[in-house]
Amino acid sequence: MAMRQPVLILVLVSCLVAVHGDSYGNPSPSPPPSSPPKLGPSAPPPSRVAGKTFESQVFTCNDNKTSCFGKTIVCPSQCPEMKPADPKAKACFIDCNSPKCEAICRNRRPNCEGTGAACYDPRFVGGDGIMFYFHGKKGHHFSLVSDPNLQINARFIGRRPQGRTRDNTWIQSLGIMFGEHTFTLGASKTAKWDDDADHLFFSFDSHPLSLPEGHRAEWSAPDSLLTVERTSTVNSVSVSLPGIMEISVSIVPITEEDNRVHNYQIPEDDCFAHLEIQFSFFNLSPRVEGVLGQTYRPDFQNPVKRGVAMPIMGGEDKYKTSSLLSSDCKRCIFSPSSMDGDVLVMKPTTMDCTSRMGNGNGIVCRR
């Protein structure tokens, strides 16, 4: 009888291991002791939480400079989570300056019809809500936003079809400068598009960085609050700098249908993979510049012709920069010295309730 006692103990231990679960309540047995720990995002894949119901997150706006100060806002049941495990599910977004002090549901990927969008050839929706086109020039760089503490440039790719008088252009990469740091992201050149292959590349302070594939995989910058998070398995990310900006980015190709309809005359060796982008900005200065940034100025008078099929915004000469990471355009006002240690704890009015952003930034997050 004494010899069987260890067996009973082992059975009891194995039962305890079997009921161990993850943070979503899914049972997940521990790996054998000899297996090395697996690194990666803590959230399970979407299939593991499909059909599960989560309690809505609750937020309190505690910034007395916002119109919703002191208000408690509950995420709708249709989107209870700020970062849903299902990449197709809508997320909860809070704006403590919204007129109704209510949370809204929206996709985490770019909305090309929404404010701050930059998509297609390229078509922008300004901070004033007015749509316009800015063609730029293939192989050149232009300032999209230039403020004392933030510079965002774009590299344009394109081609000039036979018989046309201008380039068809698309945004291939972004260069971001804040303080003494730089960050770039872009779309790799590819001949044939593959939905399952990742076409994104990144660098931070001139060093290439690798972001694991998988929805909600995340990278955090050293000595900075910059974070990059995948919003799908491949080709879509969210870039956040608390109190400054949030950018949703997806990579898409020129499809055969696009090529046929617009007669781009795309060659066989390049599908012109490019970015679709939507920007959210917090605390821009009243004198912000850039192709897109100027539309956020309170005194901006949009010069584009409304009611035409393709309203064009000029300014190539004013906003052209010498490289992706330079602020030498004629209207650029970026000044790295203006970004001191306090700027990263400025209180944004729209919040993502994460461990890096939900502490002391004008919002309290809880279940």
Report which DSSP code applies to 35: S
Q: Which residue has the tokens 């590299």?
A: 155
On whether both 159 and 178 belong to a single domain, the answer is yes
Residue 241, φ and ψ in degrees, nearest 5: -130, 100
Nearest Cα neighbor of 254 from 157, 321, 323 is: 157
pLDDT tens string 155-194: 999 999 888 888 899 999 999 999 999 999 999 999 999 9
| Cβ-proximal residues to 301 (8 Å cutoff; 6+ apart), any chain | none
| Whole-structure pTM value | 0.75
pLDDT tens string 264-305: 999 999 999 999 999 999 889 999 999 999 999 999 999 998
Residue 119 lies in a domain: yes
On whether both 123 and 204 belong to a single domain, the answer is yes
On whether both 168 and 259 belong to a single domain, the answer is yes
Residue 30 lies in a domain: no
pLDDT tens string 85-116: 888 888 888 878 778 898 888 888 899 999 99
On whether both 96 and 166 belong to a single domain, the answer is no
pLDDT at residue 353 tops 80: no
On whether both 152 and 244 belong to a single domain, the answer is yes
Whole-number mean pLDDT of the chain?
81
Q: What is the pLDDT of residue 26?
A: 41
The 10 Å Cβ neighbour count of residue 113 is 11
Nearest Cα neighbor of 296 from 128, 113, 122, 115 is: 128
pLDDT tens string 49-96: 445 566 788 888 887 877 898 999 999 888 888 788 888 888 888 878
Residue 1 lies in a domain: no
On whether both 101 and 184 belong to a single domain, the answer is no
On whether both 99 and 113 belong to a single domain, the answer is no
| Cβ atoms of 128 and 302 closer than 8 Å | yes
pLDDT tens string 114-123: 999 999 999 9
On whether both 62 and 209 belong to a single domain, the answer is no
Q: Which domain holds residue 75?
A: 52-107
Task: Give the dihedral of Cα atoms 124, 249, 200, 221; nearest 10 deg.
Answer: 120
Q: What is the pLDDT of residue 316?
A: 95
On whether both 119 and 67 belong to a single domain, the answer is no
On whether both 136 and 224 belong to a single domain, the answer is yes
Residue 7 lies in a domain: no
On whether both 292 and 173 belong to a single domain, the answer is yes
Look at the chain and report how many structural domains it folds into.
Answer: 2
